[in-house]
Amino acid sequence: MFPFDVILFDVGGVLLTNGWDHRERVTVLDQFQLDHAAFEARHAAPYDAWERDAISLDAYLDATVFYEPRSFSRPQFFQAMCAQSLPLADGALPILRELAAAGKCALGTLNNEAREPNEYRFTTFGLRTYVDFAFTSCYVGLRKPEPAIYQRVLDILGRSAERILFIDDRAENSEAASNAGMKVIRFQGAESLRQSLAQLDVL
């Protein structure tokens, strides 16, 4: 019997680079010569709402960038945001593909992401080819590490928590999943993940 019914992967920091974390924001803000402190002072609250799909991309950009006239457009800025998304060096994308080809259990993602960048990332990197479920904050209105998002996943999957394996790079997300009863692997690179999966008889 295969040890898990479902394996869930985080996306940013596990499969791909982070979509719009601090490092990515710095790169784009420098590209458009925007003040870091001014942006960050405006970023947190609308970003939380955007990741929950409570506001649109335009509303987020209005709050953080286009509250005054700019020499560039919203599409130009969003394109630069999307350009930060790349396959993660030493990431788990090849492992996800390998598990999908084996077909021994259902696969999914559990990630925090706003709708527009999430759709870009899933489409550009073909993630829907490999997963059966996409539990993204913008779809469920909840964010990791809130306990409610893990319970929502368990309710939708209808599986026992111990039959679900979750792979995430962040300690707080991993701890919350473990508290929900899921088996957890803290992602620290592809080789380490392969070793952990081998110990669990997954690979």
Domain that holds residue 48: 22-82
State both tokens at 47. 């970003």
In the predicted structure, residue 1 carries a pLDDT above the cut 90: no
Distance CA 108, CA 8 (A): 5
- The CATH number of whichever domain residue 144 belongs to comes to 3.40.50.1000
Tens digits of residue pLDDT in 109-163: 999 999 999 999 999 999 999 999 999 999 999 999 999 999 999 999 999 999 9
Distance CA 152, CA 155 (A): 5
Whether 30 and 10 share a structural domain: no
Q: Is 85 left (phi over 0), alpha (psi -120 to 50) or beta?
A: beta
Distance CA 108, CA 135 (A): 7
Question: CA 145 from chain center: how many Å?
Answer: 12
- The CATH number of whichever domain residue 28 belongs to comes to 1.10.150.240
Whether 74 and 105 share a structural domain: no
**33 domain-assigned:** yes
How distant, in Å, are the alpha carbons of 35, 43, 113, 193, 203 from that of 169?
A: 29, 23, 15, 11, 19
**HSE value, Cβ hemisphere, 13 Å, CA-based, for 192:** 11
Whether 121 and 170 share a structural domain: yes
Q: What is the pLDDT of residue 72?
A: 98
Whether 78 and 90 share a structural domain: no
State both tokens at 188. 């620290």
Q: What is the pLDDT of residue 148?
A: 98
Give the three-class secondary structure for 201.
coil
Q: What is the pLDDT of residue 79?
A: 98
Average pLDDT for the chain: 97
pTM of the model: 0.96
* pLDDT band for position 15 (cuts 50, 70, 90): very high
In a 10 Å sphere around its CB, with 0-12 CB exposed, 13-18 middle and 19+ buried, how is residue 2 labelled? exposed
Contact 114, 64 (CB under 8 A): no
**1 domain-assigned:** no
